[in-house]
Chains A and B, each alone.
Chain A
Amino acid sequence: MLEIAIKGSKNYWLWIVLLLAVMGAGAVVYIDQFMNGLMITGMSRDVSWGFYIANFTFLVGVAAGGVMVVIPYYLHDYEKFHRITILGEFLAVAALIMCLLFIVVDLGQPTRMLNVLLYPSPKSILFYDMLVLNGYLFLNIVIGWKILEAERNQVEPPFWTKPLIYLSIPFAIGIHTVTAYLYCGLPGRGFWLTAILAPRFLASAFAAGPAFLIILCYIIKKFTKFDPGWDAMQTLSKIVCYAIIANLFFFLCEVFVVYYSNIPGHKSHIQYLLFGYHGYNALVPWMWTSLTLMATGAVFLLIPQLRSNKTLLPVTCAMIVIGAWIDKGLGMISGGFVPSPLHHVTEYAPTGPEIMITLAVYATGFLVLTILYKLATQVKEEVRG
Chain B
Amino acid sequence: MMKKSRRSFLKVAGIAAVGLGAAPAMNFAASDLSGPVKSRNEDGLSAHRWGMVIDTNKITDEVVESIVEACHKAHNVPDFNHEVNEEKFPNTRPVNHKQEVKWIWEEEFHYAFPDKEDEFLAEKFHDLPFLVTCNHCKNAPCVKACPTQATFKREDGIVLMDYHRCIGCRFCMAACPYGSRNFNFRDPRPFIEETVPDFPTRSKGVVEKCNLCAERLAKGEQPHCVEASEGAIVVGDLEDPESEVRALLNEHYTIRRKQSLGTEPSVYYVM
Q: Is the CB of A36 within 8 A of B169?
A: no
Q: Is the CB of A186 within 8 A of B148?
A: no
Kindly list chain B residues whose C-beta atoms are within 8 Å of the C-beta of A125: 145
A328 at the interface (CB under 8 A from B): no
CA of A48 to CA of B111, assembled, Å = 19
Q: Is the CB of B114 within 8 A of A119?
A: no
Closest chain A residue to B92, Cβ basis: A36
A7 at the interface (CB under 8 A from B): no
Q: Is the CB of B167 within 8 A of A44?
A: no
Q: Is the CB of A115 within 8 A of B165?
A: yes
Q: Is the CB of A108 within 8 A of B204?
A: yes
Q: Is the CB of A106 within 8 A of B169?
A: yes
Q: Say whether, besides A48-B174, A126-B171, A341-B177, A37 and B184 are in contact (CB < 8 Å).
A: yes
Kindly list chain B residues whose C-beta atoms are within 8 Å of the C-beta of A127: 147
Q: Is the CB of A108 within 8 A of B183?
A: yes
Closest chain B residue to A344, Cβ basis: B111
Q: Say whether, besides A188-B178, A343-B110, A37 and B261 are in contact (CB < 8 Å).
A: no
Kindly list chain A residues whose C-beta atoms are within 8 Å of the C-beta of B101: 45
Closest chain A CB from B205 CB (angstroms): 3
A109 at the interface (CB under 8 A from B): yes
Closest chain B residue to A343, Cβ basis: B114
Number of B interface residues, CB 8 Å? 52
Closest chain B residue to A183, Cβ basis: B174
Q: Say whether, besides A109-B167, A109-B206, A116-B148, A189 and B110 are in contact (CB < 8 Å).
A: no
Number of A interface residues, CB 8 Å? 46
Kindly list chain B residues whose C-beta atoms are within 8 Å of the C-beta of A36: 93, 186-187, 204
For chain A residues 29-53, which have a beta carbon within 8 Å of chain B? 36-39, 41, 43-46, 48-49
Closest chain B CB from A143 CB (angstroms): 28
Q: Is the CB of B167 within 8 A of A112?
A: yes
Kindly list chain B residues whose C-beta atoms are within 8 Å of the C-beta of A37: 184-187, 204-205
CA of A130 to CA of B171, assembled, Å = 14
CA of A108 to CA of B167, assembled, Å = 6
CA of A362 to CA of B198, assembled, Å = 45
Kindly list chain B residues whose C-beta atoms are within 8 Å of the C-beta of A123: 143-144
19 chain-A/chain-B pairs, Cβ below 8 angstroms: A37-B184, A38-B168, A41-B185, A43-B99, A44-B99, A45-B101, A45-B179, A107-B168, A108-B184, A112-B168, A116-B147, A118-B148, A121-B148, A124-B147, A126-B169, A187-B175, A187-B177, A188-B175, A346-B98
Q: Which 3 residue pairs spanning A and B have beta carbons closest together?
A: A108-B168, A188-B177, A108-B205
Known: A36-B187, A115-B167, A341-B179. 6 other contacts (CB 8 A): A38-B183, A110-B167, A112-B165, A115-B147, A126-B145, A187-B262
